[in-house]
A and B are shown apart, each in its own frame.
Chain A
Amino acid sequence: MNETFQSASQGEAPILELEGVQKSFGAVRALRDGTLSVRPGSIHALIGENGAGKSTLVKIVAGVHRRDGGDLRFRGESVDFASTAESKAAGIAVIYQEPTLFPDLSVTENIFMGRQPLLSGRRIDRGAMHAEATSLFRRLGVDLDPRRLARGLSIADQQIIEIAKAISLDAALLIMDEPTAALSGVEVERLFQVARSLRDEGRGLVFISHRFDEVFALCDTVTVMRDGAYVATQALADTTVDALVAQMVGREVGELFPKTPAPVGDVVLSVEGLTSAGVFHDVSFEVRAGEIVGLAGLVGAGRSEIARAVFGVDSYDSGTVRLDGREVRRGDPRGAVRAGMALVPEDRRKQGLVVEGSVARNIASVIRRGLSTAGVLTGSAEDRASSPWAAKLQVKTNALDMPAATMSGGNQQKVVIAKWLATEPKLLIIDEPTRGIDVGTKSEVHRLLSDLAGQGMAIVMISSELPEVLGMADRVLVVCEGRISAELDRADATPEKVMLAATRRNDQEVHA
């Protein structure tokens, strides 16, 4: 794999080099082969699907995580950052999508936090600080008052402050992790100008983005990652969007995801014009009995938010949700459960489970309202009701009173699914059904979803794993920036089409 690496450089020594860097979290191998080579005076794009390992790679370079193996060299020397402070001190700056500034401090104070210039008697030299901040902004060509508070600054301005901070630290390498996601067109252009001027000063830049137009407009070199591993590095002048998409998704959608065709019945869920200001807009779709509808899209596109609104955990501004033709009250999860909905949420440990609670209590936590005899709910009634569901999902535990915290991620996910299947729902919304669980459990979950659809359940599946969506879903809805940007039938849904619809910036429809 590595011999394909051909830097499009003029032969200058790379400032940052990663080779075969690995990182696992528990049973999940987030990064198998992190390989990247960034030259000074270059803007290097790093692209890949959600979960391709980009963020893990960045976090290793930034000192957030430590690598399990592989080589990491910065300015030619092998390094191993134990903290973000170490990586910062070495000259690496990371600009995140949403910077975290101190809102009640001035712009200048934010830039010089922790290393303010001092006068005698350890008094802070405000004059020198402001002067330096002003000159930094002049160098960046932006018009910002260094004395104003950071509160109320736009995200674009906050990023500029982070960049100013990086320059004042004389960072030789700037990594920008999806910096443009929350920016308007003008702001993006200003950011690009700043980035180009930094490049011309001879710094190395890494630009992570899902937007191909920006990648092509700004960068000179691109590295593609997939499934936690390096795929290819090439000059952007030598490649095309289609070629990149093929590299990003280029893997077989095999029998790992065995959705068996099931007879499709009546409409179960019908969502019309669902809107929540600033989150999602005019979302309409239907789901029929026996059908698995996949919601694909990038992280942050609004898929989970739509699911939460449909189920009533969050409220929404306008639109209607109907189950079996009857309208479901907004912002009322219990009403949604009564109507026959279930939501297996995205964050198992925070939303799906009470981890301190026992397996039995967790499984019974929705159905318990029907378990009382003569107004008395006993623990043994909960045990009796939850035991068959634990068995059905093959939850591995010694006893029903073991706390969920003691179980592996896959087993916890089974408990969450058991909890919701116990309500015998007509519609199951399942958000990231297999995130962070082992391969064996993964295919169990897939088989289960397929069986459930076969028994006539309507299923909405949100997943950031494209093969999972394409393998399981009868229909794929692609969500992009809070809108449904494409609807693709199983036969039409190709990785390329889904990726294009998910990364598209303008509003034209992509038709299947």
Chain B
Amino acid sequence: MTQLATPPTETPRSYAAHAQPLWRRALLTPEVAVIVALVLVFTWSTANVQAFDGPLTLYYLFLDTAPILLIALPMTLVIVTGEIDLSVASVVGLSSVLVGLLHQDAGLSIPVAALVAVLVGVVCGALNGFLVGYVGLPSLAVTIGTLALYRGIAVGLLGTEAVTDFPERWTDLAKQRIVDGSSYPVVLIPFVLLLIAFAWLLHFTPFGRGIYEIGLNDEAAHFSGVDVERTKFWLFVMTGAVSALAGVYYTLRYGSARGDNATGLELQVIAAVLLGGVSIFGGRGALHGVVAGVLLIGVISSAMRLENQTVNVINIVIGSLLILSVIAPSLLVRLRSLAGRTRSATPAPPRNDTGEAPVDHEERLQR
């Protein structure tokens, strides 16, 4: 107490950028765990599941999961802020109906109809974003409401009918392969472009840093000059736009515009995002994990379908996997603290090497 601090003219120290070696930081993450699981399931299926290595498996896998892949991108950003958007599948349905009606009744060409549908998706997202960001309502409640609202409008516009009269040029394009004979459909091109855009936005911009800060501590983010309201607003707008785009694809892929298209898709998207290592409480997650999460669910479903399992069994497996992925981190913490307790039972050297106050590391990990 008597001794004052060392004078500030002491030689300035430098800091190591990282406390742990590269391999630990790069490999011991939930994202890598999902990627490893994906690779394992994929190689196992290739070796053991009949016809899994056939030319159509991957092709249909991509065709079928494309809407989920697309919507999972902005959904990841929304969930990292600690919010959620349950209305995405309804926007898919509304966009699908709009493309059908605008093409059939108004005689608009597909690109123009698609553009209008995406703009309506922007409006849908803007309503969500306004209510969540600026009015401050909980996104769970708001988007349950708009889930019903947008779906209601979609079904109301088209009733129980379906528009199926689309030009072949466009429905073929939705199913076309990038190169003849390859397993990769052209829809992967817009997906990869959007993936690059969202990965840049989330991981390599100040805006993206703000997204994480909002998820971890929105008050501190506000005090640092992050515009919390505006950030949330724009994330919901992006989600609406991408969902509408997925709706356009969905319509052309199946050649059918119906009000109940993609019902329940929102839960598949959210399940995949969470499986990919994004915390439902916000503040953590990365896009490579999310992409692996979507593909993992896709690979498991198509492998099990080839093994003639019913949808119910597939759902049970994927549901269990999701629960496992959510409890895995806290289970890990529990194990670690158990290990720590047995170690400290024996006389151990003082674990604090910095001489600082005791560390509360677990509080962070428990999230």
Contact = CB atoms under 8 A, between A and B. Distances in A.
Contacts of B212: 354, 357
A409 B359 CA distance: 11
Interface residues of B, number: 46
Given A360-B17, A365-B224, A394-B8, A26 B364 contact: no
Contact of B216 (A343, A356, A396, A448): A356
Contacts of A400: 15-18
B17 to A, nearest CB: 5
Given A351-B219, A439-B1, A440-B4, A369 B206 contact: yes
A97 interface: no
B225 A337 contact: yes
Nearest to A442: B5
Interface stretch (A201-209, A219-227, A375-383): A375-383
Contacts of B1: 439
A399 B357 contact: no
A352 B360 CA distance: 18
Nearest to A404: B364
A124 to B, nearest CB: 33
Contact of B364 (A336, A355, A439): A355
Contact of A399 (B12, B18, B359): B18
Contacts of B6: 394
Contact of A405 (B208, B355, B363): B363
Interface in A335-382: 336-337, 343, 345, 350-357, 359-361, 365-366, 368-369, 371-372, 375-378, 380
Contact of A391 (B13, B204, B217, B223): B13
A26 B357 contact: yes
Contacts of A350: 217, 219-220
A441 interface: yes
B14 to A, nearest CB: 6
B336 interface: no
B221 interface: yes
A128 interface: no
A51 to B, nearest CB: 17
Interface string B1-39: 101111010101111111100000100000000000000
B134 interface: no
A356 B364 contact: yes
A408 interface: yes
B285 to A, nearest CB: 13
B204 A378 contact: yes
A354 B8 contact: no
Nearest to A369: B206
Contacts of B16: 398-400
Interface in A70-91: none
A360 B224 CA distance: 14
Contacts of B209: 361, 365, 368, 377
Given A354-B220, A405-B360, A408-B357, A334 B12 contact: no
Given A357-B216, A440-B5, A443-B4, A313 B222 contact: yes
Nearest to A367: B206
Nearest to A423: B225
Given A26-B357, A408-B356, A411-B356, A380 B17 contact: yes
A337 B224 CA distance: 9
Interface string B343-367: 0000000000111110111011001
Interface string A382-402: 010001101110101111111
Contacts of B10: 394
Interface of A: 26-27, 313, 333-334, 336-337, 343, 345, 350-357, 359-361, 365-366, 368-369, 371-372, 375-378, 380, 383, 387-388, 390-392, 394, 396-403, 405-409, 411, 419, 439-441, 443-444, 447-448, 451
17 contacts: A334-B225, A350-B217, A350-B219, A351-B223, A352-B223, A354-B213, A369-B206, A375-B200, A376-B200, A377-B208, A387-B15, A391-B13, A396-B355, A398-B353, A399-B15, A401-B19, A440-B4
